[in-house]
Amino acid sequence: MRKTAISAAAAGIALALGLTACGSGSSSAGGDDDGTLVVGATAVPAGEVLAYVKDNLAEKAGLDLEIKEFTDYVLPNTALNEGSLDANLYQNKPFLDDFNKSKGTDLVPVVQAYLPPMGVYSKKVEDVAELPDGATVTVPNDTTNEGRALKLLAAQGVIELKKDAATDASPADIVSNPKKLVIKELEPAQLPRSLDDVGAAVINNNFAQDAGLSPTEDAIHLESAENNPYANILAVKKGDEDDPRVEKLVKLLKSSEVKKFIEDKYQGSVLPVAGG
């Protein structure tokens, strides 16, 4: 069953089990502007990008950075809103907008950091057009990423969506499905595991890489960066945009050093965002 981007039950479980500290220093979330900046992130690529900043750039910039890794898409925003984080890096703006709308929160983006292109993966076919009639395609079950996945399939011509379908498109917005594809919604983290049993899966970049899949080598179709609204953003609570620690991190994320790190490490699997 499709879920909104927010799940209170999942957040409660993840709070106990889903987060680990990655970095040293005492937390000062919601506290002294001169203290440690605590940033939540999923492991790949956000955690790796932040780890590069922490290990190579932060000290010289006068930034004490602590990274906390999360294994889901809910808790980083919950923790940010509750004040146990100063910022987070893992989501795109449509996802953040949906979170704010669903939970009544006021989290805001401060900078685009990189684009992790979503991909279609398959162990059965080498092209989306080769999917057989009646094939099952698994997609993320959160509002924003499901809409993104359906638009990716529509761009390949295997389904057609309503002309006014927005970023929260669902299977109900499919107006043509000539192959009679079965769209199955799964938790995003479960999508790579579904590949043995389905025709294809539309998988978020971080979960693909966590599962050992290379977006550039293993995806049968990869999202284009051109005019793409799904760049990952550094987000904070409204009013914290001018926090000096946040401003330092923004400057580092927009630096040529981080751009080169992303290009060298990910070789097109994650794309830097020009000019931040």
The Cα–Cα gap between 223 and 216 comes to 10
Residue 252 φ then ψ, to 5°: -70, -40
By residue count, the chain amounts to 276
Residue 139 φ then ψ, to 5°: -135, 160
Q: What is the pLDDT of residue 33?
A: 60
pTM to 2 decimal places: 0.75
CA 10 remoteness from chain centre: 17
Q: What is the pLDDT of residue 228?
A: 85
Reported in sequence order, the residue ranges of the chain that DSSP labels E, i.e. its strands, are: 19-22, 37-42, 65-70, 87-92, 107-115, 119-121, 136-140, 160-161, 174-176, 182-186, 200-203, 219-222, 232-237, 271-272
Instruction: Assess if CATH 2.60.40.10 describes domain 119-222.
Output: no
The Cα–Cα gap between 150 and 95 comes to 15
CA distances from residue 11 to 70, 77, 94, 156, 236 in whole angstroms, order as listed: 11, 10, 20, 34, 19
CA 51 remoteness from chain centre: 17
Contact predicate 84/39, CB 8 Å: no
Give 10-residue mean pLDDT values along the chain (276 residues): 43 38 44 82 95 98 98 95 98 94 97 95 98 98 92 96 92 98 97 98 93 95 86 97 98 97 94 72
Q: What is the pLDDT of residue 226?
A: 78
Tokens 């990655």 sit on residue: 22
Tokens 């984080």 sit on residue: 85
Q: What is the pLDDT of residue 25?
A: 37
Domain chopping of the chain, boundaries: 8-116+228-272, 119-222
Same fold across 8-116+228-272 and 119-222 = yes
HSE on the CB side for 231, CA within 13 Å?
Answer: 20
Contact predicate 118/205, CB 8 Å: yes
The Cα–Cα gap between 103 and 49 comes to 28
Contact predicate 165/147, CB 8 Å: yes
Provide the CATH topology of domain 8-116+228-272. Answer: D-Maltodextrin-Binding Protein; domain 2 (3.40.190)
Q: What is the pLDDT of residue 32?
A: 55
The Cα–Cα gap between 162 and 28 comes to 47
